[in-house]
Structure 1
């Protein structure tokens, strides 16, 4: 390695250290919660297991099931009917309460209320809130987004540091046999990082549509370029063109089907569509999971997390005729790409194979975090933090240009980089004691 390349290596190593210092706790938490959320369908089914195994003696109509649900929860408003998952399963009636909260009511085929559950209290919903916002609302979401952006930088800089530079495959493609101590942790970190880097980058990038900063910018560009075809089918970003608080508006509305065909009439027509489970039927005027309220139609939707399989069908409330169909192929190509990414991120694109790959990726990321901390702990001199040495000014500028180019695509990375550069270049020189504690050696 030439002196110039050596300085560049140390410059990137320093920023890799900074990124790891910030990201490691988030990698551990987000990998754990992400691995759990991969199994959302199984978790939800387990929590509803008592609903779907209830015996029954007769079968009542969906209308009677909804009446039983509304009688069990006073002042509730009917929002949707989820089809029984199998011939002897229970229907799930989704209702809204006056205060704006929601409830899921399991009703057997013979019209008995089997249980009432808060959808926000489900294991999968709680894990999702931890994964997306650390239970801290929008500020937590911005923190998670920042960590994800730095994790992308961490992986890219790690690949540069991993590059063999004339070394053999041992310690590069596989760990060296018999390695002990720091060498063991180094090989575990480098080899695992190489093999998992592609999958980790896909996971990180496919999670950006759920964020606030990146997704808001993307949502604005999507609208300004005329790429919008219907409401955005994922939660993420702030709609800067919205004139109202849609969430508050939706919760305030009462869904009361008007004159026309009954739920049972539409249900019988909907069965012939054979949509992928879970399947829900939403009455006219009811709130939709995403976007504005449902129009003057009965809307049949598949809520499968394998988004390329999702379809929806709209029925005229007076005649029951099909007035609209929408499938994955009808969406804009950009939305389809994001749909594939989200389905992969949630572990549902290829069923259990996708779940297994996602879980292994999460375990590998946790191994990277642990081995990185172990390497730092063994290397740090004395009681100092032990950051890699500061590079020369010229090389620092090269690294800054590279990272700023990346930051143009990641708004939260740009904002945090400005803050970090200000601390590193402006504040630390004024605080020699802190600088000595942070740096291992003088500038290169």
Structure 2
């Protein structure tokens, strides 16, 4: 039996205050939560989806020797005249096509080439591919940095929603685990629930019980996603840069702005952002002159392929982010990622950076992102992420149903605030709010704005205040 909790009875906590914040946080977050849950669930299965997608372009090896990588790059450029070579992705198997990345008219194009016959099998704009599109929708709402700000704001309020929800879930007068750890289906006498009361209890238990079981997982997903956001992630980068020397530019394996993401994807060489307009500087078959180095592309690829890095493996030409040739494993199992720098003269491996060689913070974020993307511990990680996403949708649906059932005419349906004669903010609520506002600046700024509107404006608008469940100003 679960007895009454002294924690809940403490005068430092205001139940109605917490309930109101839970309601408003949920009301604001609902559309974002559904969108992030659905897109996140899809992105969990990126490896399987892309493997299925590439299966349509499987080639027949027939024990043939693949053509040279340079020949494959030439074949790709022939279909996109004057394109700039960007990178080469190693075929995942002898039956897989080669991926040649080109910059064409300012966009990154992925060209699939049969490495044996040099037949071009497919040409696609990188940003238009399904999984990159889902990734941008999930992290930036297809709105660039503005979308990142919105996602960060929604994530901050979702954290408030989860924390306040756990407070409301805390069992006060429960006489068992029913309704706490599993939904109630029977009354105390053992008879099945039925009628209007049964429906109310069903939706309440569905909301509270599922919310409890997924709470920690959702909090982890929200926190592990913050380093990718424009504001919070950018601030984290500035803090890291502050601790480094002025000559050291902090590099990290995640991007906090649309500009960084575009630079990482485009990999345009310094000073060659408009190389696709320079038709007079071409090599045979339109390969840009800057790709001709003492060491051939074949040597670069052969040396990186010999390392047997986890796929997908990219060999990239000099870019804004890297002045020299770079080989990199882009596996979503981030602890297995490896980056190597190549000597432009002979293709020799100059340096190798493994995951364990990175700073502690980068490794912590890397583990968090690997779990976030469902790739740290195999299929179980994907299943856990999928169940969490489905649980979030169920919590939102049940919350909406309870809200509409409770909502009265001409009101928003928010829990009524206490009268102005008893508006002293509980100490624990103040402390928790201040801590969250400090850790989540977007939350702090929006919270100040909400409080100012509520205390300075809405109290003078009786009808609006009544609609929102607030007390009107008394004279």
Task: Confirm or deny: 8 A CA contact 1:381 1:440 kept in the other structure.
Answer: no
SS of aligned partner of 1:106: strand
- 1:176 alignment partner in structure 2: 184
CA–CA distance in structure 2, aligned partners of residues 237 and 222 of structure 1:
16
Q: Does 1:316 align with 2:320?
A: no
- 2:55 alignment partner in structure 1: 49
Please state how far the C-alpha of 1:351 moved relative to its aligned partner. 2.2
> Which residue of the other structure, out of 424, 427, 443, is the alignment partner of 2:457?
427
> Which residue of the other structure, out of 23, 35, 40, is the alignment partner of 1:34?
40
Select between 67-76 and 178-187 the one with higher mean Cα deviation. Answer: 178-187
SS of aligned partner of 1:46: helix
Please state how far the C-alpha of 1:320 moved relative to its aligned partner. 3.0
CA–CA distance in structure 2, aligned partners of residues 59 and 440 of structure 1:
73
- 1:243 alignment partner in structure 2: none
Please state how far the C-alpha of 1:88 moved relative to its aligned partner. 1.7
CA–CA distance in structure 1, aligned partners of residues 53 and 321 of structure 2:
29
- 1:112 alignment partner in structure 2: 119
Unpaired runs of at least 5, structure 1:
241-245
Q: For residues 378 and 212 of structure 1, do their structure 2 counterparts lie closer, same or farther at Cα, with a shift above 3 Å needed?
A: same
SS of aligned partner of 1:52: coil
TM-score (norm: length of structure 1): 0.90
Select between 315-324 and 85-94 the one with higher mean Cα deviation. Answer: 315-324
RMSD: 2.5
CA–CA distance in structure 1, aligned partners of residues 28 and 224 of structure 2:
21
Q: For residues 371 and 333 of structure 1, do their structure 2 counterparts lie closer, same or farther at Cα, with a shift above 3 Å needed?
A: same
CA–CA distance in structure 1, aligned partners of residues 395 and 268 of structure 2:
42
> Which residue of the other structure, out of 343, 364, 368, is the alignment partner of 2:395?
368
CA–CA distance in structure 2, aligned partners of residues 67 and 383 of structure 1:
68
Deviation string, structure 1 residues 138-176 (Cα, Å, up to 9, x no partner): 222211110100000100111111111242211001111
SS of aligned partner of 2:66: coil
Deviation string, structure 1 residues 402-428 (Cα, Å, up to 9, x no partner): 212211001111111111111221111
Task: Confirm or deny: 8 A CA contact 1:215 1:238 kept in the other structure.
Answer: no
Unpaired runs of at least 5, structure 2:
187-192, 261-265, 276-287
Select between 64-73 and 44-53 the one with higher mean Cα deviation. Answer: 44-53
Select between 330-339 and 259-268 the one with higher mean Cα deviation. Answer: 259-268
Q: Does 1:79 align with 2:86?
A: yes
Please state how far the C-alpha of 1:382 moved relative to its aligned partner. 2.7
| Structure 1 ranges of 4+ moved more than 4 A | 1-7, 54-58, 227-230, 237-240, 246-251, 440-443
CA–CA distance in structure 2, aligned partners of residues 350 and 437 of structure 1:
48
TM-score (norm: length of structure 2): 0.85
> Which residue of the other structure, out of 241, 254, 278, is the alignment partner of 1:234?
254
- 2:364 alignment partner in structure 1: 337
Number of corresponding residues: 430
> Which residue of the other structure, out of 280, 286, 293, is the alignment partner of 2:321?
293
Q: Does 1:269 align with 2:303?
A: yes
CA–CA distance in structure 1, aligned partners of residues 293 and 367 of structure 2:
39
Please state how far the C-alpha of 1:401 moved relative to its aligned partner. 4.0
